[in-house]
Amino acid sequence: MRLVCQKDHLAGRLAAVGRAASTKSTVPALANVLIEADENGVVVAATDMELSLRAPLEARVEQPGTVVVPKLAADIVRSMVPGEVTLEHNEGEGVVSLTGGSSSFALNSHQPGEFPALPAEDGSGVVLPADVFLSTADRVVRAASRDDTRPVLTGVLVRLEQDSVTMVATDSYRLAVRQAPLTSGPSQPQQAIVPARALAEAQRAIALAGADQIEVVLSQTSGTFRAGDVVLTTRLIDGQFIDYRQLIPEQFTHDLQLDRGELLAVLGRIAVIAQRNTPVRMALTEGQMTLSVVSEQFGEGHESIPVAFSGEDMEIGFNVEFLRAGVESAEGDTLRLGVISPLRPGLLRGDDDTFRYLLMPIRLNT
């Protein structure tokens, strides 16, 4: 194989696709990136057997072939001087060469036969506008759990209906739900639990392709996301997602309206001295909300903002970072906060109910 490519393009493709390469597999080739060049063009791909990513590479193919290069090739190419980079590999040899400017590198490589076959692409699916997919996924994916002992919670429930797409994620401490309208959804509802990591990579795939839409294909065991010529395939999570509708209260003791920007600014200042798992205290009194935090290491801070609250005083505690994440994800200038009691979860909503963020309280020491 021999191909010539612009340095920045090659480095960008290797780095982006390399995110799908394995970091802990016992199969060495999975920690690398596959490059295939033929008369149809060049494709760069990587997989960890759970998720795979493939993208086209704009290059001049002087000799077709296939090679498996180490992920660090991206860093090496990025460090080269601007201009063209030549990648060359002789069949049967365990070395791939990278040359550009006055730089020359010979990197150990794996044989293409050691690289597993990539999953076959599923059929046609549902096409979503890129902005709808991005805004929906971005607002929920951070609420997914990182605890692998409960696999279902590490995923995002994706439900496609004729007129809407809904995504839901929870780590059992918070729950994020985002619904967006569609003009051409499936005739019959479809849903699957997609690994949160895969949704995050699908968002990056849209940027990588510069696409204005993304096609989503959900099968029994896998999900495929096509953004332009960039294709991501992931294994779906098997299991039963929680019935999130039953968790969201329909009525509240207090349904408060807040200035979202003002609350976000206060939380940003308060969070500076908060330590991990330090709760922010939200004290509600006549016409006022006071947010405070106490850190044994740094001290304490508090700040008040006006709010239309009346009735018996209430104090409720929340994880400050989880609360801030919910406020950031809400849409519009006005934020609605529904509370029932210090021991019941609170619900954040934006200007409408398309985004809902349920947050469990932290029991406060008096």
Instruction: Answer whether residue 93 shows pLDDT above 90.
Output: no
Q: What are phi and psi of 241, to 5 degrees?
A: -75, 150
Cα distances from 310 to residues 10, 49, 262, 284, in angstroms, run 61, 56, 20, 9
Q: What does the pLDDT read at residue 366?
A: 66
pLDDT tens for each residue of 117-139? 888 776 778 999 999 999 999 99
What's the DSSP call for residue 116?
A: P
SS3 per-residue string spanning 189-209? CEEEEEEHHHHHHHHHHHHHH
Compute the radius of gyration of the chain from its Cα atoms: 25
pLDDT tens for each residue of 319-355? 999 999 999 999 899 999 999 999 999 999 988 889 9
Q: Give the global pTM.
A: 0.92
Q: What does the pLDDT read at residue 52?
A: 96
H-helix or E-strand spanning residue 54: strand 51-57
H-helix or E-strand spanning residue 245: helix 244-247
Q: What does the pLDDT read at residue 122?
A: 66
Q: What does the pLDDT read at residue 274?
A: 83
Give the residue with greater pLDDT, 46 vs 118. 46
Q: What domains, with CATH codes, occur in the chain? A: 2-114 (3.10.150.10), 126-244 (3.10.150.10), 249-359 (3.10.150.10)
pLDDT tens for each residue of 256-277? 999 999 999 999 999 888 877 7
pLDDT tens for each residue of 10-33? 999 999 999 999 988 778 889 999
Handedness of CA 237, 243, 247, 250 (dihedral sign): positive
d(CA 119, CA 122): 9
d(CA 271, CA 320): 6
Instruction: Answer whether residue 105 shows pLDDT above 90.
Output: yes
Q: What are phi and psi of 322, to 5 degrees?
A: -65, -40
pLDDT tens for each residue of 126-181? 999 999 999 999 999 999 999 999 999 999 999 999 999 999 999 999 999 999 99
Q: What does the pLDDT read at residue 271?
A: 87
